[in-house]
């Protein structure tokens, strides 16, 4: 199975790039399943039902979010209506929506997607490590579940690496989101789980992590309230990873970074 996971979509530039490219990428890369992190798609802050629908219509199978999940108020009831839209699973019980879902690819193979958020330098939520253990009870690859993909949304690289090793051999891949900067540590861990600390963003890299430079710099220099941050509108770079899995075990056979368009150097074309 071949799975594409795209990092945080930022603003109009990022969502336009994703929606325009995704139909072609599904064919070009022979993708079986696609996950898109859309938490910054609405002007850099959250996601709306309309934007979520655009990603799904373009070819995403699942849309994940993160700490900005609730920024757009009209999205809150949508988490209970649209089962392909996930928020971090370790929000308290009673929070709208869920952070896990079992889906099917075009061939009927089942893919479990788990979405959790880290605790270091992030909002205070339930422990993601024990929460992950509970979510994984009685869920194993190689039988009814063909693949398990984890979007771990976190700030600290150490926490993401720890989650990767915790789940090594139990899931197909653990990919980090949130920092908007792609890391170079893509690998298949010793137990067969694919890992990458952060996928980067789908947005304009002539920016400060997707936001216009001037207001972002002012916040660092002046230490006083500055103009509201706005998403940069230049050409976006699509950033993510392509995960190839073994059909028998569900474990990763390859982790290939994916970058296209915009300012960052593109990754080589895949076969």
Residue 86, phi then psi, degrees to nearest 5: -115, 145
Active site residue 68: yes
- pLDDT computed for residue 203 by the predictor: 98
Residue 137, C-beta contacts closer than 8 angstroms, at least 6 positions apart = none
Query: What's the confidence (pLDDT) of residue 44?
Result: 97
Q: Which of 24, 68, 78, 165 is catalytic?
A: 68
Tokens found for residue 17:
């790039």
What is the pLDDT, as a whole number, of residue 76?
Answer: 98
**Cβ neighbours of 106 (radius 10 Å):** 10
Contacts of 86 (CB under 8 A, 6+ apart): 62, 63, 64, 65, 97, 98, 99, 100, 101, 113, 115, 151
Helix 128-135 with 157-166: angle, nearest 10 deg: 30
Mean pLDDT over 117-138 rounds to 96
pLDDT at 226: 72
Structural domains of the chain in order of their starting residue, each with its CATH number:
2-260 (3.60.21.10)
What is the pLDDT averaged over residues 227-244? 96
* pLDDT 10s digits, 67-119: 999 999 999 999 999 999 999 999 999 999 999 999 999 999 999 999 999 99
Q: How confident is the model at residue 224 (pLDDT cuts 50, 70, 90)?
A: confident
Instruction: Give me the pLDDT at residue 228, please.
Output: 86
Question: Which of 181, 178, 201, 174 is CA-nearest to residue 66?
Answer: 178
Higher pLDDT, 117 or 221: 117
Q: Does the structure show a pLDDT above 90 at 155?
A: yes
* pLDDT of 157 strictly over 80: yes
Give residue 270's pLDDT: 84
Q: Where are the beta strands (DSSP E) in 129-229?
A: 145-153, 173-177, 187-188, 194-196, 201-202
Is the model's pLDDT at 227 over the cut of 90?
no
Stretch 247-252: mean pLDDT, rounded?
97
Taking the C-alpha atoms of residue 61 and residue 161, their distance in angstroms, rounded to an integer, is 26
Amino acid 223: pLDDT: 77
pLDDT at residue 164, as a whole number? 98
Query: What would the mean pLDDT of 220-244 be, rounded to a whole number?
Result: 91
> Average per-residue pLDDT in the chain?
96
Q: Could you say which DSSP state residue 269 is in?
A: P
Residue 261 to residue 192: CA distance in whole angstroms: 31
DSSP 85: B
């Amino acid at each position: 199975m071949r799975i594409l996971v795209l990092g945080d979509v930022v603003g109009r530039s990022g969502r336009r790039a994703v929606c325009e490219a995704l139909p072609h990428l599904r064919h070009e890369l022979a993708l079986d399943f696609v996950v898109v992190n859309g938490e910054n798609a609405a002007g850099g802050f959250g996601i709306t039902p309309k934007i979520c629908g655009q990603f799904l219509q373009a070819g995403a199978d699942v849309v994940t979010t993160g700490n900005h999940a609730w920024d757009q108020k009209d999205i809150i009831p949508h988490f209970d209506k649209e089962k392909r839209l996930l928020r971090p699973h370790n929000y308290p019980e009673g929070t709208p929506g869920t952070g896990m879902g079992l889906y099917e690819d075009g061939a009927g193979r089942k893919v479990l997607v788990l979405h959790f958020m880290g605790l270091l330098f992030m909002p205070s939520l339930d422990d993601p490590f024990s929460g992950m253990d509970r979510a994984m009870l009685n869920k194993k690859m190689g039988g009814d579940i063909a693949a398990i993909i984890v979007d771990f949304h976190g700030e600290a690289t150490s926490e993401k690496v720890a989650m990767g090793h915790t789940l090594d051999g139990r899931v197909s891949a653990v990919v980090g989101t949130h920092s908007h900067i792609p890391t170079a540590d893509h690998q298949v861990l010793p137990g067969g789980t694919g890992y990458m600390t952060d996928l980067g963003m789908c947005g304009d890299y002539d920016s400060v992590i997707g936001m216009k430079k001037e207001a972002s710099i002012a916040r660092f220099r002046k230490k006083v309230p500055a103009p509201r941050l706005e998403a940069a509108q230049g050409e976006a770079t699509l950033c993510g990873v392509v995960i190839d899995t073994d059909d028998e075990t569900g474990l990763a056979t390859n982790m290939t970074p994916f970058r296209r368009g915009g300012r960052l150097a593109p990754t080589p074309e895949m076969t």
